[in-house]
Amino acid sequence: MKRRSFLQTIASVSAISPLIINGFNVKAFEPTNLFTLAGAIDCDDRVLVLIQLNGGNDGLNTIIPVDQYSQYYAARTSIAVPENTIIKLSDTTGINPEMTGMKSLFDQGKLKVLHSVGYPTPNYSHFRSTDIWLSGSDTEEYFNTGVMGRYLDYRFPGYPSTYPNASMSDPLAIQIGSVLSTGFEGPHANMAMAFTDPTSFYNIVNEKDITDTSSRSGLELAYIRKVGEQLNNFAKPVKNAALKVPKNVSSLYPAHTFNTPNPLSEQLKIVARLIAGGLKTKIYMVNLSGFDTHSSTTNVGFGVNVNHANLLKQLSTAITAFMDDCKLLGIQDKVLGMTFSEFGRRIKSNGTGTDHGAAGPVFLFGNSVIPGFLGTNPIIPDNVSSEDNIPMQTDFRSLYSSLLTQWFCVPQKDIPTVTLHNYANNLPILQGISNSVKHESLNPLSLQLSLFPNPILHQSQLQIQTVYPIADIVLYDRTGKLMSTISGYIPEGNHTLLFERVGLSAGQYYLQARLINGYTQSIIVNIQ
Amino acid sequence: MNRRSFFKNLALSKDSIDIPQKARINALEKFQGTWDKETRLHLLRRTMFGCTPAEYNSVETKSLDEILDILFAGITLPEEPLAYTNSGSITAGNPWVSAAYESGSEPQRLTFLQSWQINIVLKQPMRIHDKMVLFWQNHFATGAIVVKDARYMYKQTTLLYQQSLGNAKDLVRYMLFDLAMSRYLNNNTNTKSNPNENLSRELQELFTIGKGPEIAPGNYTHYTEQDVKAAGRVISGWADNQSKVSLVFTPNNHDTQPKQFSSAYQNTIIKSTANTEISAKTEVDDLLSMIFKQEQTSLYLIRKLYRFFVDYVIDDSVENYVIKPLAEQFRAANFEVKPILRTLLSSTHFYSNTVRNCFIKTPADLIIGTSRFFHPAGLYPEELNLMHWANRTLRRLMGNMGLDIMNPPNVAGIPAYYQEPSFHELWINADTLQKRIKFTNDLSIDHLQLDEMDYTKGPLIDVIQFAKDSGDPTDPTVIVNYWCDWLFSMPISETVKNQVKDFLTAGSPDYEWTVKWNVYIADEANTPQDAAIVSAVEKPLRNLIKYLLAMAEYQLI
């Protein structure tokens, strides 16, 4: 494609494309060689373990941009991790010193760090943002169902009435705990089963009396009976699986005591046993609470002081032990894990904590991940204000679409049915993707952006030199809100784009370019 | 597939069950129907934690208004909590809420406080206040283990007892200056130079006006991000002083610049007149007047009360014929809770069949209600230490079922109270249903295991007495009818009653039971009684009660 004709096709500041967002819409991903994973685990045997970090994890103290340490320190002096204690994952990026276990997983190529995962218009309410993450909606959309619930309904149509059956005798999804996530809410029922102890189940009275489901009273009665029925149906396979693997094997699990609680590790221990015991359950969900760190110490668990660093330690220890256990139990190839939180936190500290923020890091762990990073350190500007947020680099819906396709083998054509959106499913996150360029082979010179003049009065020229194709170029404001898509796909080479300030008020913005392998680069744009 | 049509299908499949409109015009008119036993019990079970036959009998001849007078009567505040065991510098049996803070005994004091509240509700007289305190505790969710000072939590709980039927606007004001809340939502670190939006946000999102659709970025219809910031500045400068156990105003930390609110609040500007505590309090008054002036605030609060006492499903008819007129009355009554609650609980709608027997018991309804109903001696010990362990056990069981008093999962309170679309159904899942049934099984047959106590001596239901209460325990049909009448709010079919009678008769004619019972009675005065004779009637009765309490019907009121 000639440069001139290419330039004509892109508007200077255009609305966000409604078709394929946050992905690589040109030369779209053809999932032909997708499933040639090492170990060749059948799609149906794969298990996803989701770890929800409730409260909004402070991403900047989890994955630390050591290349901008002075800005980082200036913005959050009261809570900054001391520079000499940070464990480096690369020359530019570090991890919290409490997360030694995850550092070694990273070194072994079993951990992928996704920088700045979020959505275009951040919402700062825990509940709304949790709803958004679990339902996969836009900020202004309201779904009654969860993304996992819709996937399970797509994969196991007719649930719950015709289940268990010969093809699926086990719970579709399991939540370890007493509260069922709304993420499992399907069109007809919640698709998951919650329990805390897989070895002791009660046999529920099986009442045959007719219920009148035309009244509120009858409906609630039917609901309670249904839960009892589900319990009776699924208790046996769960119990059998747990008894088949009566003990965890890894010696790395921490003790869970009053003074050093690790509730997450206790939950993951159950998950490992059930997977190893042969349950065909597709998704497990566990969680760790206490991340709402408005001030430095938050009490959680058994009621002892636990601060953010300690929570990260719990997370790291639990995941490391779980991975070790999976290896020893011989299930390591079939397990993929992911952490997420409803939002990250503000860049600037506020006393001894931080307020609710926008994008934050996501961890993917398992033998199948493409090791390393997706995306790049967020920019920490000088003179950070309390409004400043981290803009997203990866839309979480794109991550869902990619997991659905690359892990659960959902064809591209069915992605909209499950996600109710059309986000790209080709993020380079799991092995087996053809044409993926290893992120580690990239450096800032692979992609060079320069804007002149900057500050912009009316218009500027954006000069681009890239050795790989660019997926998209987008503009965020300083609160992390997506303002516009400047360009979609751009092939490798040198290009010049005209950047007009149309519709933008004076202030600072981030211009972010993303390569098709997920590598991103941002520059600060000043509008006069 | 077209996305829009997909949504439509989705919405339909979720809401396709055809429930006729729930409320009618004039739904709030006073109930004129038959004031019978079921109707009285409906009111009592929805406003108290269970209702015993003795309690019911005491109001059997009373009118709706007379019963409401009893439920709404003024209360004497609970006595201070005591140290149940030696704890730091406090010896067992002594009060501690006025003593100095001791970090080492803090976790223990919190358990004393929680036990104290359990003990109050376990012994509740006929009144609505205990349930209202639970309502406010969830509405103003405050996590004690974040607050880290049980004395703060005590102050908050006592305040809620004092004000549970008071004025909602006043109550919100109290909460803005509440020590525990100040810590929980970090308003104690909210200063002019380091603003903290936490309390300001939840004040609007959760305590008063509620969030509407986000119609533009940061604009939640009823308020905006600008308002979150502005209100945060209004309430800046207050921090808790732990040694004084009071909230202290620091003028230099208060933002005295004018606070400009958005058009959602009619572009109100709140100004400081002087950098003094009095002026800062006036600003808070202005803030609350501004928020409560908005119709949405009364609608939000009334919906929450409706869901707490009536049903979580609010269709258009309920919105139009119950919520809106009640909200109007709420505004006219200057946000006094008592009159609107009285209107609601006397309304035709509250007693209509559409909302009867559809309320899933909260863990408190189940645990406290069942305990109060059967009053097993083991749950009501005299000795302080034993009382603590009994209370603590019940608290733990409730917590495991999703209602841990003073420890909400987050600032929004418990999901069953707010999470669309499932609401109360969230109380029941495979895990919690088992826990509910284990609780009643234990009380029926296996002995409820109390923390730190001998398991084999754990509390059990006195089934012999409950059978005698039926009036004619020689007749198994009488026992079954009487038990079903008292245990369930909804009628049980004759088919089921006949089936469960088998627990007593084992398929033999009824007189076989009569014979067994008469043998038992003849032996009853002997010391010791003949174990085989006792077991012959006790065991079937225990199996029967265990079965009945495990039925889905028992989870509804």
Separation of alpha carbons B386 and B380, rounded Å: 9
Domain co-membership, B226 together with B304: no
Q: Are A388 and A448 in contact (CB under 8 A)?
A: no
Burial tier of B104 (Cβ tally within 10 Å: 0-12, 13-18, 19+): exposed
B272 and B287 assigned to the same domain: yes
Give the angle B101-B104-B109 at the CA atoms, nearest 5°. 65
Q: Tell whether A88 and A134 lie within a shared domain.
A: yes
**pLDDT above 80 for A104:** yes
User: Higher-confidence residue: A12 or B26?
Assistant: B26
Q: Which of A218-232, B197-211, B540-554 has the lowest mean pLDDT?
A: A218-232
Structural domain containing residue B487: 463-555
Are the C-beta atoms of residues A300 and A287 closer than 8 Å to each other?
no
**High-pLDDT (> 90) share of chain B, %:** 86
Both structure tokens of B197: 């939006």
> Does the structure show a pLDDT above 70 at B5?
no
If one counts every other C-beta atom within 10 angstroms of the C-beta of residue A247, the result is 6
Mean pLDDT of chain A: 85
Which one, of A321, A315, A428, A415, lies nearest residue A369 by Cα? A428
pLDDT at A32 over 80: no
The tally of domains found in chain A comes to: 2
**Confidence check: pLDDT of A322 > 90:** yes
Question: What pLDDT does residue A209 have?
Answer: 63
Which of A382, A405, A432 terminates a domain? The answer is A432
Binned at pLDDT 50, 70 and 90, residue B306 comes out as: very high
Residues A361 and A227 in one domain: yes
Place of tokens 């509910």: B436
| Residues of A in Cβ contact (< 8 Å) with B435 | 178
DSSP letter assigned to residue B79: P
Are B180 and B210 contained in the same domain? yes
The gap between the terminal CA atoms of chain B, to the nearest Å, is 43
Provide, as residue numbers in chain A, all residues whose Cβ is less than 8 Å from the Cβ of B221: none
Chain A residues with CB inside 8 Å of B433's CB? Answer: 204, 224, 227-228, 231
Q: What is the pLDDT of residues A34-67, one digit of tens each?
A: 444 444 688 889 999 999 999 999 999 999 999 9
Give the DSSP letter of residue B355.
G
Please report the pLDDT score of residue B372 as a whole number. 98
Q: Please name every residue paired with B259 in a beta bridge, in sequence order, or none if there are none.
A: B270
- Whether B19 has its CB under 8 Å from any CB of chain A: the answer is yes
pLDDT tens-place string over residues A275-313: 999 999 999 999 998 898 887 644 433 333 458 999 999
Residues of B in contact with A188 (CB under 8 A): 13-14
| Statement to judge: residues A37 and A10 lie in one domain | no
CATH number, domain of A327, equals: 3.40.720
pLDDT value for A40: 64
Query: What does the pLDDT average to over B262-283?
Result: 96
CATH number of the CATH domain containing A7: 2.60.40.1930
Q: Is residue B119 part of a domain?
A: no
In the predicted model, is pLDDT for residue B407 greater than 50? Answer: yes
What pLDDT score does A168 carry? 94
The answer to whether the Cβ–Cβ distance between A188 and B553 falls below 8 Å is: no
Q: Which is more confident, A517 or B303? A: B303
DSSP string, A413-462: GGHHHHHSS-B----TTBTT-TTPPPGGG--GGGEEEEEESSSBSSEEEE
- Residue A341's contacts (CB-CB under 8 Å, 6 or more residues apart) are A52, A53, A54, A55, A56, A57, A291, A360
pLDDT exceeds cutoff 80 at B318: yes
Q: Which residues of B touch A299 (CB under 8 A)?
A: 143, 145-146, 148
Within 10 Å of residue B473's Cβ, how many Cβ atoms? Answer: 24
* Residue at which a domain ends, from A432, A447, A470: A432
Residue B185 is given by DSSP the state: T
Residue B98's nearest CA partner among B248, B241, B240, B245 is B245
> Whole domain around residue A440: which residue ranges?
1-29+435-528
- DSSP bridge pairs for A462: A451, A497
A341 with A465, same domain: the answer is no
Give the number of domains in chain B. Answer: 4
> Bridge-partner residues for B499, per DSSP?
none
Contact A522, A379 (CB under 8 A): yes
Domain boundary among B248, B265, B292: B292
pLDDT of residue A26: 31
Whether B510 shows a pLDDT value over 50: the answer reads yes
What is the 8-class DSSP label of residue B15? H
- How far CA A364 is from CA of A96, A169, A283, in Å, comes to 17, 28, 15
Q: Same domain for A280 and A222?
A: yes
- CB atoms near residue B32 (< 10 Å): 9
The pLDDT of residue B327: 98
Judgement on whether residues A17 and A37 belong to the same structural domain of the protein = no
Asked if residue B84 is part of any domain, the answer here is no
- Identity at B117, one-letter amino acid code: Q
Closest chain B residue to A145 measured between Cα atoms?
Answer: B10
Instruction: Note the pLDDT of residue A179.
Output: 82
What is the pLDDT confidence band of residue A435, given thresholds at 50, 70 and 90? very low
- Tell me, yes or no, whether B270 and B385 share the same domain: no
On whether residue B130 sits in a domain, the answer given is: no
Between A212-226, B125-139, B481-495, the lowest mean confidence (pLDDT) is in: A212-226
Nearest-Cα distance to chain B for A23, in Å, is 19
Identify the pLDDT of residue B258.
97
Preceding omega of A391 cis (within 30 degrees of 0) = no
Q: Within this chain, do residues A311 and A399 fall inside the same structural domain, yes or no?
A: yes
Task: List all residues of chain A from 314 to 353 with a beta carbon under 8 Å from chain B.
Answer: 350-353
The answer to whether residues B541 and B477 belong to one domain is yes
Please give the average per-residue pLDDT across B221-233, as a whole number. 97
Q: Convert the pLDDT of each residue in B321-370 to its tens digit.
A: 999 999 999 999 999 999 999 999 999 999 999 999 999 999 999 999 99
Q: Which of A383, A400, A432 is the last residue of a domain?
A: A432
B234: how many CB neighbours lie within 10 A of its CB?
Answer: 23
What does the longest C-alpha to C-alpha distance in chain B come to? 86
Complex confidence, ipTM: 0.92
Q: What DSSP string describes A254-314?
A: PP--SSS--HHHHHHHHHHHHHHTT----EEEEEEE----SSSEEEETTTEEEEHHHHHHH
| B404 & B519 share domain | no
Note every long-range contact of B171-175, with CB atoms under 8 Å and residues 24 or more positions apart, other chains counting.
Answer: B171/B136, B171/B140, B172/B203, B172/B207, B172/B208, B172/B288, B173/B284, B173/B285, B173/B288, B175/B140, B175/B207
| Residue pLDDT, tens place only, B52-109 | 999 999 999 999 999 999 999 989 999 999 999 899 999 999 999 999 999 888 889 9
Whether B158 contacts B77, CB under 8 Å? yes
Q: B211–A298: do the CB atoms touch at under 8 Å? A: no
- For residues A335 and A85, what is the distance between their CA atoms, to the nearest angstrom? 32
B254 within some domain: yes
Which two tokens mark B515?
């014979």
A window 373-432, beta carbon within 8 A of B: 386, 416-417, 420-421
* Whether residue A20 is found in the same domain as residue A44: no
Q: How far apart are CA A501 and CA A481, in angstroms?
A: 16
For residue B446, give the DSSP letter.
Answer: I
Pairing, β A520-527 against β A360-365: unpaired
B16 pLDDT more than 60: no
Give CA–CA dist A431/A337, Å, rounded: 14
Please indicate, yes or no, whether residues A200 and A317 belong to a single structural domain of this protein.
yes
Distance to chain A for B392, nearest Cα, Å? 15
In a domain, B92, yes or no: no
Confidence of residue A424 (pLDDT cuts 50, 70, 90): confident
